[in-house]
């Protein structure tokens, strides 16, 4: 009698328990979905290697808009053309990859290097930077530098304080005559960038570091045999 009671209680417990856990699970999932619906922006950029001709208009526009000192760059276009195949010219954009798990913001001791609270873009508060260079050595892509004029560390922040504040596209994207650069919001399903990513094969630079970079590269590949 006693043992049967115990079994019954046990089964009841299992039943109620699973209902309870199920509801909790559902509740938590619903919470997740509502977060997604809230859609904090996640800005990213595509560099299409097939379209880039290496004119460096993007570099010039960037330096002009962001007041980058002469001889320094927030972005530069690397010529990777194989000297043996000069007809097959290849260029690569090198700039901040805007990682989702960004080591620079994690190591900055003064929170000068931070993610913008509205746009989530990795950017710099030059006043709070003391120039310890920790972010520079922590960056797996080696794309940060000390600005010779402000003496603070700096990176490409998609023109956050300049063009983006004026609701314009980043200077490099606006300057590109060949549409090799596309800027957009990953969390906006209607953005041209997302539509392009749906149809093109793209890769991330050095994904092995596990920092989830937000730049996508469409590599030039040989057509035919």
Contacts with another protein by CB under 8 A lie at 49, 73, 78, 80, 92, 94, 103, 106-112, 128-134, 136-146, 151-152, 203-209, 211, 217, 219, 221
As measured in angstroms, the least distance from the Cβ of 144 to another protein is 7
Q: In angstroms, give the least distance from the CB of 141 to another protein.
A: 6
Select from 74, 143, 75, 130 the least CA-distant residue to 104: 143
In the complex, the smallest distance separating the C-beta of residue 177 from another protein, rounded to whole angstroms, is 22
Of 147 and 163, which CB lies nearer to another protein in the complex structure? 147
Task: Give residue 120's region: left, alpha or beta (phi > 0; psi -120 to 50).
Answer: left
- Cβ at position 220, least distance to another protein in Å: 9
Backbone angles phi, psi at 147, to 5 degrees: -65, 125
Q: How far apart, in Å, do the first and last CA atoms of the chain sit? A: 80
Minimum gap (Å) between residue 190 Cβ and another protein: 27
* Cα-based distances in Å from 96 to 11, 14, 135: 57, 52, 12
- Cβ at position 27, least distance to another protein in Å: 30
C-beta closer to another protein: residue 55 or 205 = 205
Residue 107: Cβ within 10 Å count: 15
Residue 64 or residue 206: which is nearer to another protein going by CB? 206
Which of 38, 224 has the CB closer to another protein?
A: 224
123/105 Cα distance (integer angstroms): 9
Euclidean distance between CA atoms 85 and 82, whole angstroms = 5
- Closer to another protein by CB, 155 or 163: give it: 155
User: Which sign, positive or negative, has the C-alpha torsion 103, 207, 213, 30?
Assistant: negative
CB 42 within 8 A of CB 120: yes
Q: Which is nearer to another protein, 44 or 103 (CB)?
A: 103
């Amino acid at each position: 009698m006693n043992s049967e009671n115990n079994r019954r209680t046990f089964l009841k417990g299992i039943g109620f328990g699973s209902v309870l856990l199920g509801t909790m699970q559902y509740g938590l999932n619903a919470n997740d979905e509502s977060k997604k619906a809230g859609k904090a922006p996640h800005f990213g950029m595509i560099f299409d290697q097939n379209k880039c001709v290496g004119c460096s208009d993007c570099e010039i526009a960037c330096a002009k808009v962001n007041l980058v000192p002469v001889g320094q760059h927030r972005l530069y276009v690397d010529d990777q053309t194989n000297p043996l195949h000069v007809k097959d010219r290849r260029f690569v954009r090198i700039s901040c990859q805007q990682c989702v798990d960004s080591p620079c913001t994690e190591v900055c001791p003064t929170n000068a290097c931070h993610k913008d609270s509205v746009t989530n873009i990795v950017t710099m508060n030059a006043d709070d930077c003391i120039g310890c260079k920790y972010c520079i050595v922590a960056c797996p892509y080696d794309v940060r530098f000390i600005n010779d004029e402000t003496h603070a560390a700096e990176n490409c922040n998609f023109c956050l304080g300049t063009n983006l504040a004026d609701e314009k596209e980043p200077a490099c994207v606006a300057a590109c005559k060949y549409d090799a650069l596309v800027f957009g919001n990953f969390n906006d399903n209607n953005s041209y960038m997302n539509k392009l990513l749906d149809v093109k094969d793209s890769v991330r630079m050095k994904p092995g570091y596990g920092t989830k970079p937000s730049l996508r590269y469409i590599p030039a590949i040989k057509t035919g045999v």
